[in-house]
Amino acid sequence: MTLFGIDVSSAQHGIDTGAVPSDIVMIKLTGGTGYVNPDFDAELAKAKADNKGVLAYHFYHEEYLEGTPDQEAQFFLSHVMPYLDGTVGVALDYEPTPTGRFNALDPAQSKAWCDIVHAQSGVVPWGYGPVSTIGAGLRSVSDAGYPIWAAAYTLGYQPIYGYTPPVGPLGVPAGMNVKMWQFTSSGHLPNWPNELDLNIFYGTRAEFDALCAVGGAINPQGYKPTPPSEDDGMSQAEVLEIQGFIDTLQTELQKSVGEVTQQLIQDQIRDLTAHVDASIQAALFASEKFDQKAGQDEGAVIINEVRANANMLVAIAAKNAPAVAAAIPADIAQAVADELAKRLTETK
């Protein structure tokens, strides 16, 4: 079993963490010795109202607000303690800062922060960092048994639609106890127009909740990932097939459609793409039922709907992208092409 989640901060001001599809939400609370996310309360409330798991995290050495491990831990604790009711976990974001003011990662500092927070809050902290630096910055945290949340963008900054993690995470140092993987910062989900950090947690909701419990004990042997089940819903191949339709369509549009017409068509594509994404999420979140007959029937219906929507996307460009149009049934292509022609006429 796996869970999917998003990572948000004030950079996602206005996001409805309850409406954007996810099982868990990681929210920045503090940074250094003086920064507090002004959107934390709103983001937390919406996530909890939708019964999502939550991690509150601290960004170490926020630029120009740097402190010692104890100072930064105490600052974080002074703000996070009121929220620690057994349903909110904690994490340390330990990575080089954007301008390079802090890039000499010291595993003794990250472990000291985690030890202080664990001792005073009773909640087991996570250690987060890019896969390129977790060996240097979080090795002692991992060796102590704290769970690791690694960022590894194996596809770089290529857009990823829905929770479709590529092969990975790649480059994790041997022996690191990676329990959660942030696989992109260029993710796209329904109900939010901009890019998001997307994550996959290797375990069940009960396992995630256990890491939020007050009085939780660290495991010196580390947390071992729970392998995802073969019945965990819509396969990656299914989703990639759908995304292939969209990618092919966009390529053909670039080749063969004039700028004005292309913009009009792309407006329609944007709406239908959102519908496809929503259908993908519906299929993924129906995954827990796929090992039961009723769930299989439901999943089959959803997948068929997704494929139909993908075909509609391709058909929109039927008159302007012949190579794509040839791959779909003529009646579908003609119906959507007629609708497109009607809309283009109305727009003139």
- Give the pLDDT confidence of 297-333 residue by residue, as tens digits: 444 554 455 445 545 554 444 444 454 444 444 444 4
CA–CA gap between residue 30 and residue 59 (Å, rounded): 6
Report if residue 231 sits inside a domain: no
Q: Which of 35, 36, 104 is nearest to 64 (CA)?
A: 35
Residues in the chain: 348
CA distances from 147 to 35, 123, 211, 217 (A): 25, 12, 9, 11
114 in the same domain as 179: yes
CATH no. for residue 40? 3.20.20.80
User: Do 34 and 143 share a domain, yes or no?
Assistant: yes
Here the tokens at position 290 are 């796929």
**Is 319 a member of any domain?**
yes
pTM value? 0.66
Residue ending a domain, choose from 152, 175, 210:
210
* Number of domains the chain contains: 2
Residues 191 and 322 reside in one and the same domain: no
Say whether both 94 and 51 belong to one domain.
Answer: yes
77 and 43 in one domain? yes
Task: For helices 330-347 and 293-316, give the axis angle rounded to 10 degrees.
Answer: 50
Element (H, E) at 277: helix 259-285
* 176 and 31 inside one domain: yes
Note whether 121 and 242 are same-domain residues.
no
pLDDT in tens, 144-199: 999 999 999 988 888 888 888 887 677 788 788 889 999 999 999 999 999 999 99
Q: What is the pLDDT of residues 203-219, one digit of tens each?
A: 899 999 999 999 877 76
Residue 185 within a domain: yes
In the chain, pLDDT over 90 holds for what percent of residues? Answer: 47
Residues in contact with 295: Cβ distance below 8 Å, sequence separation at least 6, in sequence order: 286, 288, 289
* Same-domain check for residues 175 and 113: yes
Residues 88 and 156 in one domain: yes
Contact, 184 vs 155, CB < 8 A?
yes
pLDDT averaged over every residue in the chain: 75
| Within-domain flag for 155 | yes
Flag whether 218 is in a domain: no
Is 102 a domain residue? yes
Q: Which domain holds residue 299?
A: 236-347
252 in the same domain as 181: no
| Residue-wise pLDDT tens digits, 96-119 | 887 777 777 889 999 999 999 999
Q: What is the DSSP letter of 107?
A: H
